[in-house]
Structure 1
């Protein structure tokens, strides 16, 4: 039985069948990398880099509009979580950026792509906002190698994306309820002197995070408070950009309630923190709302902790525990802490 991914891939492969596969020099795909099952490459392209996160957060533009307060920040960011696949291709020499773009566009449409927005001209602000907000693949350090100009000059693949002749498309592909979000960006590779075209493809597939990887222990919470006066609550879970506690947060809440019950004199701040993505005011509200959600859960049944003992605060990105320059640092900064008063 054919899956949707197989059908979509067949349609995409058929749409690309007319593209010339020739290249001026033989190239080899990044070892271990492969096309995503939903979207095949433009024929003859070199798969230059790929990053796959089994479960991670991703911020994509939700429209081509920029925030009025900052010309290089999305007005409508898409905060997504799931399996994130990022792939970088270099098209064969002699292919125009528009030709590569139209082939992808037609193939996606044939596969049932639902467009959210596209930008085909004057997309530099969108490109720079995307780079500033999302930092596509940490500067693409996962892309190994370089592109060469006809005269022999070389440009590292970490700079293969550019605003020159850039176009962007964002939408969804897949069955309702299981749709993957697709971002396609197409530009000249590094700059016009290379005579090459780069395609960046990011696919975020909805996927439940594996839970049960962190156990919580009231004694460990007490030890953290005794040692540093605060402890990060690693067992609290929220959807990206949301303030509702997810059901898998229950063991952490139970451990907190048990700690408070065993230490009747303990009063604590519940402090929410965010990374630096997005506006400060929005992050301040988000961090406070998440802390309030935790405090509310503790004061409600079945725990019924005295509200005076768990006071919520929100600090946004004011107290990071790691740099915000990569996804790992941002993940550490998005947290809720228990702080002894």
Structure 2
């Protein structure tokens, strides 16, 4: 026998007045800790609801089923750790103390009676102040009892489990009591006031320059990061509840912004964005609100796809998402907004795409530039020679690039060149090698026929997709890979 047993507080149940606190660093006044137990964590809530499982968990049903015992009152949750003790001895001491105080058993289970491993996981985790008893669920014992008191019913429960030489005790006690009201006072004068509109400070010139002109920031929002790009390819997701699952792949002027806003709800921010886009005659093609956005992981994934950093961080709680479109003569404009919160801060992920074709002809190739490239690197890259998809015939808009190559060769009579064709990785590799050789042949033929360049100064080769200048996972990368290279020959 231990030299001392679990101490029991006075049988008078005029329990001390409780106040809510985040952590509770004492034992419960009714039940002291087991000898030499270490208090791992405790919480106390002034008037809270707790549901005790009073059966094993039936996991054959979705959601899982168990018999609940609901108690409302002051809630105490304790987690103790005890070394070199057995779970049965610790358990029996707690039950004996409860019965001595007059608690009547409601439900109990021991060892395999508490269910299989999965059932035991769910049963035990409901009693843990952490939401998880971790490894301490071996050799399990569970007991729930209740007792009437002058203030109301008291419900107490213990889950006791072991791991190696350590026993863990998860204790939950609810002291029933009437709900105390009248703690919050109403200022009648304030209550009779009209609604005070949100004060909107005018944006500074610096703020306006950082925002996208189409959609300035929410009042009081701070910019977290942003970028604006002339002509980029971007992918916008549909909401998880949409019938359409294939993301939109768009090319145009891009603006990506992340804003943070203090002391406002995700709902208010979302409704304001939605109202602004509605007023501007945008059509909503996909949207979700709260649970419609799926699990936390699914909502976070949508936010990640819009976030400039690729990570929405903690701003995915209470999520809202919308994808809107406006058709204009010069092209469609798309707006995607993901709004999520964390504690007292809302994060807004905003993406705007104004569709347009990639503008070419902005870079002029000339003989001097080609000579500098060849002298420095032994080769020069030519992007101004155009072909239809899958074809080897040179398009008329290639003339400025061909003229620059011819000028280079005429100024440098000793130059011998390989004309090397390259493709991206779309389609069959062998077919692309053949196509790239045919295109290089076309360039050589045009220089010989139209610009009177000696045939023996040029040699056509094709390497297809096997010497890329960039990635093949984006339109911009593929465009860089579709090129002609002039490589200096020694003989």
2:236–2:247 CA contact under 8 A, matched in 1: yes
Distance apart, 1:57 and its partner CA: 0.7
State how far apart, in whole Å, the 2-side matches of 1:51 and 1:205 are: 14
Q: For this pair of structures, how many residues does the alignment match?
A: 270
**Residue number in structure 2 paired with 1:153:** none
Higher relative contact order, chain-length normalized (CA < 8 Å, sep 6+): 1
Q: 1:228 aligns with which of 354, 360, 377?
A: 377
**Residue number in structure 1 paired with 2:221:** 45
The structure in which a higher percent of residues are strand is 2
**Residue number in structure 2 paired with 1:252:** 401
Residue 282 of structure 2 corresponds to residue 113 of structure 1: yes
Distance apart, 1:93 and its partner CA: 0.6
Paired residue secondary structure (1:98): helix
Q: 1:187 aligns with which of 340, 343, 348?
A: 340
- Shift in CA distance, 30/213, structure 1 to aligned 2, threshold 3 Å: same
Q: 1:164 aligns with which of 289, 293, 317?
A: 317
Instruction: Please list, as runs of the form range in 1=range in 2, the aligned pairs for 1:284-295 lying within 5 A after superposition.
Output: 295=440
1:48–1:89 CA contact under 8 A, matched in 2: yes
Moved more, 194-203 or 216-225: 216-225
1:270–1:336 CA contact under 8 A, matched in 2: yes
The structure in which a higher percent of residues are helix is 1
- Shift in CA distance, 44/170, structure 1 to aligned 2, threshold 3 Å: same
**Residue number in structure 1 paired with 2:165:** none
State how far apart, in whole Å, the 2-side matches of 1:168 and 1:214 are: 40
- Shift in CA distance, 288/234, structure 1 to aligned 2, threshold 3 Å: same
Root-mean-square deviation (CA, aligned residues, Å) is 5.3
State how far apart, in whole Å, the 2-side matches of 1:284 and 1:62 are: 31
Paired residue secondary structure (2:259): strand
Q: 1:313 aligns with which of 449, 459, 464?
A: 464
Paired residue secondary structure (2:331): coil
**Residue number in structure 2 paired with 1:91:** 261
Moved more, 251-260 or 110-119: 251-260
Moved more, 101-110 or 117-126: 117-126
Residue 485 of structure 2 corresponds to residue 338 of structure 1: yes
Distance apart, 1:59 and its partner CA: 0.9
- Shift in CA distance, 160/93, structure 1 to aligned 2, threshold 3 Å: farther
Distance apart, 1:301 and its partner CA: 6.8
Structure 2 unaligned segments of length 5 or more: list them.
1-194, 388-392
2:438–2:462 CA contact under 8 A, matched in 1: no
- Shift in CA distance, 168/33, structure 1 to aligned 2, threshold 3 Å: same
Instruction: Please list, as runs of the form range in 1=range in 2, the aligned pairs for 1:12-27 lying within 5 A after superposition.
Output: 21=198
User: Taking structure 2 as the reference length, what is the TM-score of the superposition?
Assistant: 0.41
Deviations 1:56-87 (A, max 9, x none): 3131225457xxxxxxxx94451312x32233
- Shift in CA distance, 254/228, structure 1 to aligned 2, threshold 3 Å: same
Residue 214 of structure 2 corresponds to residue 214 of structure 1: no
Q: 1:122 aligns with which of 294, 298, 318?
A: 294
**Residue number in structure 2 paired with 1:79:** 250
- Shift in CA distance, 196/212, structure 1 to aligned 2, threshold 3 Å: same
Distance apart, 1:212 and its partner CA: 5.7
**Residue number in structure 1 paired with 2:147:** none
Deviations 1:234-292 (A, max 9, x none): 54689xxxxx999865422443466578789633322245xxxxxx767989x989968
Q: 1:298 aligns with which of 426, 440, 443?
A: 443
Higher alpha-carbon Rg: 2
Q: 1:271 aligns with which of 413, 418, 422?
A: 422
**Residue number in structure 1 paired with 2:231:** 56
1:30–1:49 CA contact under 8 A, matched in 2: no
State how far apart, in whole Å, the 1-side matches of 2:235 and 2:419 are: 36
Distance apart, 1:168 and its partner CA: 3.1
1:29–1:46 CA contact under 8 A, matched in 2: no
2:470–2:478 CA contact under 8 A, matched in 1: no
Residue 248 of structure 2 corresponds to residue 103 of structure 1: no
Moved more, 33-42 or 244-253: 244-253
Residue 208 of structure 2 corresponds to residue 33 of structure 1: yes
State how far apart, in whole Å, the 2-side matches of 1:109 and 1:115 are: 8
1:20–1:44 CA contact under 8 A, matched in 2: no
1:289–1:314 CA contact under 8 A, matched in 2: no
State how far apart, in whole Å, the 2-side matches of 1:335 and 1:84 are: 24
- Shift in CA distance, 337/295, structure 1 to aligned 2, threshold 3 Å: closer
Distance apart, 1:196 and its partner CA: 1.4
Residue 376 of structure 2 corresponds to residue 205 of structure 1: no
